[in-house]
Structure formats: structure tokens, C-alpha cells
A and B are shown apart, each in its own frame.
Chain A
């Protein structure tokens, strides 16, 4: 009896099977390549709308890229500033406001000059607190009430009056899709004074203001950080006799879009934002 199967074909594919497999493999590869590319380009990521703005569920790679862009520009503004004013956070003054959270400036604040400081004695403005007092008439209507500990406003200033950038961080709590959520919004608006007048710098992608931004949210039970976002003011001294209200660097922690903040009690390392600064008030 002639064997049905010859030893040479045992365990292998026929020519048709091979060609079919190759075609199937090629189609599969193409589909996977296209799919993986689409995953990054148009990935479907949970988003919510709050106060008319879209927030992405953290961790969000898209917002992380926006955050890197924002912080690169923010760092340059700080580097070129004569002074950096931080409103909000804890210990905005060691004795007059030791606990905070202190008032930030409203997100509607869009002034480009500090009016009172323009003619003031620079020796009188060695701290954000002093600047807030000096410019009280201008700023008082913008000071927020019931500020969140994570809220702050950062002004970079050249000379005594030219505001070169306004950076805001806000933390909101809301119930979204039946889930208690915490939302973080970071907005950076730069002003170009090279022409002698302030010109708002637009976002290179959207072509509109603000210059850069990112918005993310967490479920409320995940909003636990080893170092919570917000500002903490450190001081060298306060000396009313010699006018030495000398504020040291302020530790500013921004929300990080690629950190899942919620801490695992078993984790040996806690989540921290990588966007942490020690910003000197005076240079």
C-alpha cells in the first residue's frame, strides 16, 4: 500500500498554505502597524468637559507633551525675569498669613503691567506679599476667595512693572459621569515686549491664546500625592524696621499629566510630579 503521506511533507505546509499564510501575515502586519500608529495618533482617551474645557484622564501622554511644551516656555520666562511673583499657596507671609491657602489671582487676570510698582522704591518689594500690598488697588479685585491649596498664580516681571508671563494652576472638584473627580488646569500666557508694547503670544498649534495649557483629571480617590500640587513660600526674614521682607524661593509643584497620583499603600515609592520648581522671588 502506497503511503498517503510522504516523509518529506510531514509537519510542513503546502505551497498554497505557505502563500496564504504569507498573504495573511502581510495583511495582519499592515493592520497592526496601522492600528498601533493610530493608537498613538488618535487614541481614544477618556475625556470630560468641565466649564467648557476638555480634560483628559491622567495619565495622558498627549497632555504630557503639552506640559513639557508649557514648562519649557515657563522656565525660559523665569530665567529672563527680574522677579517672579507667586500668589497663592501656603505661608505667603510667615506671620500675617502663615497657613493659607492664600489667594491666587483670578483666571480673568490679564493685566500686562503692575501699575503701582512702576514708580515705587524697589527696596520695598522684596516679596510677593509686598508686591501684593504695593499693587493692592490693582490686584484686590482679582484676588480669589476660598482658594484651593493647589491654586496659584505666577507672574514673571521685568523691571518693576512689565509682566512677561502669567501662569495659573487651578484645582477643581466635581462629580462627572457619576464619579467624584478632581481636575487640574494649568495655563501659561506669555507677553512679548520686544516691540515696546505687550503682545500676547499665541499657541503655535491652535494659533490662539493661551500660549500653552494642559488639563487633566483623576478620580477623587486617586488625588493623593506625596507632595501635593501647590505653592509653599519659604522666607529668609521679615524685618519691618529695615524693610527686609525677604522671601526666599517658593516651592511650586505643578500637576503632572503622566503621573497617576493615587498612592498604592504597598508601593515603596510615592508618586511625585516632575514639574517642581524652587522659584526665587528676586534675582
Chain B
């Protein structure tokens, strides 16, 4: 038996097999590198895209936090019947807690400035108002605070309450490189409600908002008159609206948030001024006025009524029968005859005159002042409801700026007078007769008097400036955020 032999391998075949192995190896390497190159390119594109998407999402995130700050400030300081007494930190924290952030992301309030007061007459002395400018160092320019904000702030003298800063820390457990600090600057301005020339207001809490803007006869708005009305977005309600962006959620209309300041002006401020808090504030101020027309104390009249509040349910002061209490005080510029009062604007001395008509029996004639004078407020408060309206008649031109709050009144103008001032109609007040008005005019948009009331409104910076110390003020807030 032959021993097994090793089959000889030809040297060339062995070399070929080695070279083939190297070739396969190189081919594999090249293929791997091409795949890696392709992967790297796609990865780079993906990472660049993701980085941009992250940048965009954080822009949205910081703007959302700015919105939280704005709403928290308004919750405390808005000119509205109900405001929160919480500190700003609590309001911000409450809103932050209701937010949902991406997994691993948390945002916390790090520091917060204390909010300033928004004082206005009659509760406190308002901050001095000056005409804002877009680009100015003093007063501070309003450019950059948003065009819808500035369009309201720039209409007349306003008080700059300052800039307040709120910082937030953003941390991400999944991406520590995306830990940021968000800084929100809140710019607060206190704007007299009378700065907007014409407001057709809504009362979303105690009434309604106009479903569509009232019709306006030709000639109602003079040149340069600013107007404000906020209505339904539903084209079925308001034919001026388009379906483009109308998307009611669960049957509820959603006002685009960019118009938030307009809602403060045209809705919430009017809920406030027709609410008891403000009305009682004016009544109390009138009652405590040191009116120089009040009768003096005497032996027969030891405790005469004081102030500038006249109540139709009480008798007028009777000089022939002093000391017959209770009775109304005598008021400078106010004369009475039965249930009729005449107010001579040129003779008024008090800042606030209030007339209360709880039975709907009064009649008031307002004689204008041709000679100007200090501004004042005339409040006619009719709480009689359906019992009757107070008859109010304007006679003669008036160049003494005054704020007229007329509740449940039937207002008439004779002789097409020219009147300077602010005319506030409550939802039940009606009017007739022609008037040329310089200053502010507001009425309930859902009960417009314009169809029967030929008023011609004109913008008057002079009147706005004169009324600014006495007018209710609206807190306007602009927030901008930056990421560090």
C-alpha cells in the first residue's frame, strides 16, 4: 500500500488565489467606503435638517413662553372686572404646569420682576402720559413691540410703565447640549381708553360681542379717525370674514392670539367701566368732591350735603326750607327744577359730577362751554332699567373737554353742536339728532345707534391729551423672548 501523497499545488495557482483574496478584500473595502460616504452625506443632511428643525421648534417654544408671561401679567393687571391677586410667579407657574414639553424637557421660572401698578383716575393718580414714538431714546421707542401693539399705543399720549424681565431655564435630560436660558422682556404701557376715536365694543361676559360690525353711514368717520371693532370670524355671522382661517373648535370661535391687545381694549375694558367697581369709584369721588357750589353750614342748615352727586330720588336743596334732610347738594354749574337738571359746562368746578336716576324720571340738559376749561367727568347713572330712561339733551357747542358716561339714557342733540370730549354709551342708551364730535365715541356694537344717530367723529389729539388724566386706562403688554 502506497503512502498517501500530498497533491502538489502549482505555485501560480497558489499565487492567483492570494491575489484574488486581496482583490475581493479591496473591492469589499471600496464598497464599504462608498456606502460609508453615502451614509455620511445623508447623515450630514439629516443632522443639518434636524438642527434647523430644532432651531425652529425652540423659536416656537420661546415664543410660547413669552405668551405665558403676557397672559400672566394680564391676569393680574388687565383692566377687567376680575383679576388675580396672585403674585406673578404663581400665575406663570400655573401656566407652565399646564404645558406639555417634549420628553425629557423641562422649563422652570428662574427669576421674575414684580409687576408695577396701573393707576388711573379715580382710584389713583395715573402715570404721566406722553406721545410715544417708534424710534426714540426718550421716551423709549415702541418699535419692535409688535405692530398690533404699537397701533394701539401710538394713537395718543400713553404712559410707559417700563420693561420687566422674566428668565426661564430650559433643561433637557436627553440632549444636555440643548439646555438654554430663555429671557422674556415684557413692555407695559398704560393707554387711555379715550385714545381710540371710535370703539364699537363687545361685552363677552355680561353681554355679547357683535357678530358683525355695525353699518356706518357715510360721513360718520372723519379723516384720520381710528376705529376698533372686534367681531365674529365666522363668515356665516360676519360677511366680511373669510373661511380661510376659520376653524372653530368644538363650536367655539377662537380669536387669533395676535389680536389679544384689541380684546383688552374693545371687550374687557368695557366690561370694567360698566361694572360696579368703576361706577362706584366715580360715585364715591363725586360724593366727596369739595365742590365750591355746595351750600355752607348755618344755624338753620347745620349739616348740608356735600359733594357733586345728585340723586333724582331725593329732593333738591330748598333755600326756603334749609335743613330739610335728606336732600341733594347744590353743585357748581348745576341747576335743578323739579326732575330737570341743567349743567352749564362753563361753570362746573368739580372733576366728577354724578347724577343718579334710579326711577327713570330725570331729565338733564347739558349746555356746552365755548371757552374751554379743565376737563371733568359727568356720569349719568340710570339704574331704573325698564322703568324709564334719563332724558339727556346736549345744547350748544362745547370746547371744554369732558367725559360723558351715559347709562340707560335717551340722548338728543339739537342744532348739530360741535362737542369736544368722550362720549360713552352703555348698551341701553339710544341717541338722536346730529352732532359733530371731537374726541372719543364708544357704543355697544350689538346695539349700534349709528343708523339713527348722525354723528360725525373727528380725531383730536388735543382732546385726547386733555382727557388722559381722567380716562380709564388699558394695560397693553408686549413680550419678546430671546434664547441664551
Instruction: Give chain A's interface residues, CB within 8 Å of chain B.
Output: 1, 3-5, 13, 17, 21, 24-25, 28-29, 32, 36, 39-40, 61, 64-65, 68, 71-72, 75, 79-80, 82-83, 94, 121-123, 125, 157-162, 196, 234-239, 241-244, 248-249, 258, 274, 280, 282-283
State the CA gap A29–B258 with chains docked (Å). Answer: 59
Instruction: Tell me if B242 and A236 are in contact (CB < 8 A).
Output: yes
Does B51 sit at the interface, judged by CB under 8 A?
A: yes
Closest to B9 in A: A5
In the complex, what residues of A have CB within 8 A of residue B238's CB? Answer: 237
CB within 8 Å for A75 and B59 given contacts A4-B9, A239-B240? yes
- Please pick, from A71, A160, A241, the residue contacting B215 in the complex, using a CB distance under 8 A: A241
CB within 8 Å for A241 and B134 given contacts A64-B48, A283-B258? no
In the complex, what residues of B have CB within 8 A of residue A61's CB? Answer: 41, 44-45
Closest to A245 in B: B240
CB within 8 Å for A64 and B213 given contacts A4-B6, A21-B22, A123-B151? no
- Please pick, from B8, B36, B144, B150, the residue contacting A5 in the complex, using a CB distance under 8 A: B8
Does B128 sit at the interface, judged by CB under 8 A?
A: no
In the complex, what residues of B have CB within 8 A of residue A72's CB? Answer: 52, 55
Instruction: Tell me if B143 and A122 are in contact (CB < 8 A).
Output: no
State the CA gap A166–B173 with chains docked (Å). Answer: 39
In the complex, what residues of A have CB within 8 A of residue B200's CB? Answer: 242
Does B117 sit at the interface, judged by CB under 8 A?
A: no
In the complex, what residues of B have CB within 8 A of residue A236's CB? Answer: 233, 241-242, 244-245, 256
Instruction: Tell me if B216 and A241 are in contact (CB < 8 A).
Output: yes
Does B20 sit at the interface, judged by CB under 8 A?
A: no
| Besides A244-B240, A248-B256, 13 other A-B contacts (C-beta < 8 A) | A3-B5, A24-B22, A29-B29, A36-B40, A61-B41, A68-B51, A80-B480, A122-B147, A122-B150, A159-B150, A237-B242, A248-B244, A283-B146
State the CA gap A113–B69 with chains docked (Å). Answer: 32
Does B30 sit at the interface, judged by CB under 8 A?
A: yes
Instruction: Tell me if A242 and B213 are in contact (CB < 8 A).
Output: yes
State the CA gap A238–B239 with chains docked (Å). Answer: 9
Instruction: Tell me if B147 and A4 are in contact (CB < 8 A).
Output: no
Instruction: Give chain B's interface residues, CB within 8 Å of chain A.
Output: 5-6, 8-9, 18, 22, 25-26, 29-30, 33, 36-37, 40-41, 44-45, 48-49, 51-53, 55-56, 59, 63, 134-135, 141-151, 154, 200, 213, 215-216, 224, 226-227, 229, 233, 238, 240-242, 244-245, 256, 258, 480
Instruction: Tell me if A242 and B216 are in contact (CB < 8 A).
Output: yes
CB within 8 Å for A258 and B45 given contacts A5-B8, A32-B30, A236-B245? yes
Instruction: Tell me if B37 and A235 are in contact (CB < 8 A).
Output: no
Instruction: Tell me if B216 and A80 are in contact (CB < 8 A).
Output: no
Instruction: Tell me if A282 and B258 are in contact (CB < 8 A).
Output: yes
Q: Say how far B134's CB is from chain A's closest CB, in angstroms.
A: 4
State the CA gap A159–B151 with chains docked (Å). Answer: 10
Instruction: Tell me if A234 and B6 are in contact (CB < 8 A).
Output: no
Interchain residue pairs A-B with the least CB separation, the first 10: A159-B134, A122-B151, A159-B143, A239-B240, A283-B146, A3-B6, A234-B244, A83-B147, A82-B147, A237-B240
In the complex, what residues of B have CB within 8 A of residue A65's CB? Answer: 48
Instruction: Tell me if A123 and B227 are in contact (CB < 8 A).
Output: yes
In the complex, what residues of A have CB within 8 A of residue B30's CB? Answer: 32
Q: Say how far B384's CB is from chain A's closest CB, in angstroms.
A: 33
In the complex, what residues of A have CB within 8 A of residue B241's CB? Answer: 236-237
State the CA gap A252–B480 with chains docked (Å). Answer: 23
Instruction: Tell me if B5 and A1 are in contact (CB < 8 A).
Output: yes
State the CA gap A39–B44 with chains docked (Å). Answer: 14
State the CA gap A253–B238 with chains docked (Å). Answer: 31
Q: Say how far A283's CB is from chain B's closest CB, in angstroms.
A: 4
Q: Say how far B57's CB is from chain A's closest CB, in angstroms.
A: 11
Q: Say how far B66's CB is from chain A's closest CB, in angstroms.
A: 10
Q: Say how far A7's CB is from chain B's closest CB, in angstroms.
A: 8
State the CA gap A243–B226 with chains docked (Å). Answer: 9
In the complex, what residues of A have CB within 8 A of residue B154's CB? Answer: 122
Can you report 11 A-B residue pairs in the complex whose CB atoms are below 8 A from each other?
A3-B8, A28-B29, A29-B29, A82-B150, A123-B226, A159-B135, A235-B244, A237-B240, A248-B245, A248-B256, A282-B258
CB within 8 Å for A282 and B240 given contacts A239-B213, A242-B213, A274-B53? no
Q: Say how far B151's CB is from chain A's closest CB, in angstroms.
A: 4
In the complex, what residues of A have CB within 8 A of residue B224's CB? Answer: 121
Instruction: Tell me if B45 and A64 are in contact (CB < 8 A).
Output: yes
State the CA gap A94–B216 with chains docked (Å). Answer: 22
Instruction: Tell me if A162 and B143 are in contact (CB < 8 A).
Output: yes
State the CA gap A72–B150 with chains docked (Å). Answer: 26
State the CA gap A132–B134 with chains docked (Å). Answer: 21
Instruction: Tell me if A75 and B143 are in contact (CB < 8 A).
Output: no
Q: Say how far B163's CB is from chain A's closest CB, in angstroms.
A: 16
